[in-house]
Amino acid sequence: MPRSAKDIQLIELKDTISKLNELILSQTGTMDSLQKTIEDLRRELGNKQAEVDYLKAKLFGSSSEKLKAPFPGQMNLFAEELPDDRTLKIIEPEIIDVAAHKRERKPKATYEEMFEHLPCREVLLDSL
């Protein structure tokens, strides 16, 4: 049975449509995987940036160990008040005189002392 040109053209269009649908599905899958990869990389970049910020603060931040605000529920060790029944007694320091120490220099050695252990010999020269 001879087919008409319109029937052949219609079959070709149906094949083209099915191929285009397959192409769209594969590209959609590729785009989804790329979007997931981008999200993972952004999350990792955020983690690395937070780590860099923390390390910068540790390295270049203030090195004082004093806290601006105490943690809730933590008692302050140095701000305790004395009970009312005790009174403060001022202790006077004892003054002790210590004799000053003067450092004396060791005397320099003379040339005779430095070279006394070296052997010595006399050489007569003929000046003719």
Which tens digits make up the pLDDT trace of 63-101? 666 655 666 666 666 766 655 666 778 888 888 888 888
Q: Phi-psi category of 14—alpha, beta or left, where left has phi over 0 and alpha has psi -120 to 50?
A: alpha
Distance CA 21, CA 28 (A): 10
What is the per-residue pLDDT for 29?
Answer: 96
pLDDT at 102 over 90: no
What is the per-residue pLDDT for 4?
Answer: 87
Specify the higher pLDDT residue, 3 or 37. Answer: 37
Q: Across residues 46-67, what is the average pLDDT?
A: 83
Question: Longest Cα pair distance anywhere in the chain, in angstroms?
Answer: 145
Distance CA 81, CA 88 (A): 12
What is the per-residue pLDDT for 65?
Answer: 62
pLDDT at 122 over 70: yes
pLDDT at 48 over 90: yes
Q: Across residues 50-65, what is the average pLDDT?
A: 83
What is the per-residue pLDDT for 51?
Answer: 94
Across the chain, what does the average pLDDT equal? 84
